[in-house]
Amino acid sequence: MGARANPAFAVGAVAVPVGVFAYTVLFASVQLHTYAHVMAGVLWTGIDLFMALVLGPVLGGLAVEERANVFERFTPKMTFLMPSLALVTIVGGITLAGELGYFPHADPWLALFTAASLLPALLLIGWQFDAFRDWRWLAAFGVAAVVSAASLATTMPDFAWTRPVIVVSLAIVTVLSVLGFGVLLPGEVRLYREMISNDPDPDVISRIGMRNAKLSGVQGAFQLAVVAAMVYLRWGGF
């Protein structure tokens, strides 16, 4: 996958966002932390909306073979770039909310968020790859279930209500996480596997690629909802 994406691009797409985020959290000011979070979110949302509103309709007008050729060049790069931007945006937003004092009683809510994001995403991955009997999937799901249960057990006794806008934001980000890591990213892996198979099927590549492009529009709509919630949190006094 890295070779198809261009190794330099693959490394940079992961190292730059994650490195900037790590620096802002460990060493930089709140302003730089905010900048890193917002810029990652802008890129994540903008690319998703571009895919749904511009690229998708353009590709929809192409022949299947031409469409498949575009996805063969486009998908490997997206596989490295989009998860990095999503992680930096989500984790950056959560840590920033805590740093600014907007997220009281965070631990039990984060335990709920992690379980509600991770377990459904793993179930969707297992379903897409027909991996429910694969020991690797079973091991990953088992570890995730045990860790989630332990986290919930240790934090829920301290559960208390937090800001309503934070609850709404966490619910939206949960949907984004499940959709992104449970549907879109596995779809890109399936597309790549088809690309490198002995007899690639342009119809399969085209179908998965167009599905992901359409789902990017759904992602973009939810991301705009998070932006509205964050603006309200900052200036609405809620």
User: What is the reported pLDDT for 237?
Assistant: 52
Contact 178, 114 (CB under 8 A): no
User: What is the reported pLDDT for 238?
Assistant: 44
Helix (H, G, I), strand (E, B) or coil at 63: coil
- Cα separation, 10 vs 16, whole angstroms: 10
Q: Which positions of the chain have pLDDT values less than 50?
A: 238
Report residue 161: phi and psi, to 5°.
-65, 145
- Cα separation, 99 vs 22, whole angstroms: 15
What predicted TM-score, i.e. pTM, was given to this entire model?
A: 0.89
- Cα separation, 54 vs 50, whole angstroms: 5
User: What is the reported pLDDT for 200?
Assistant: 87
Contact 5, 83 (CB under 8 A): no
Task: Give the list of residues 6+ apart from residue 51 with CB closer than 8 angstroms, or none.
Answer: 212, 213, 216, 217
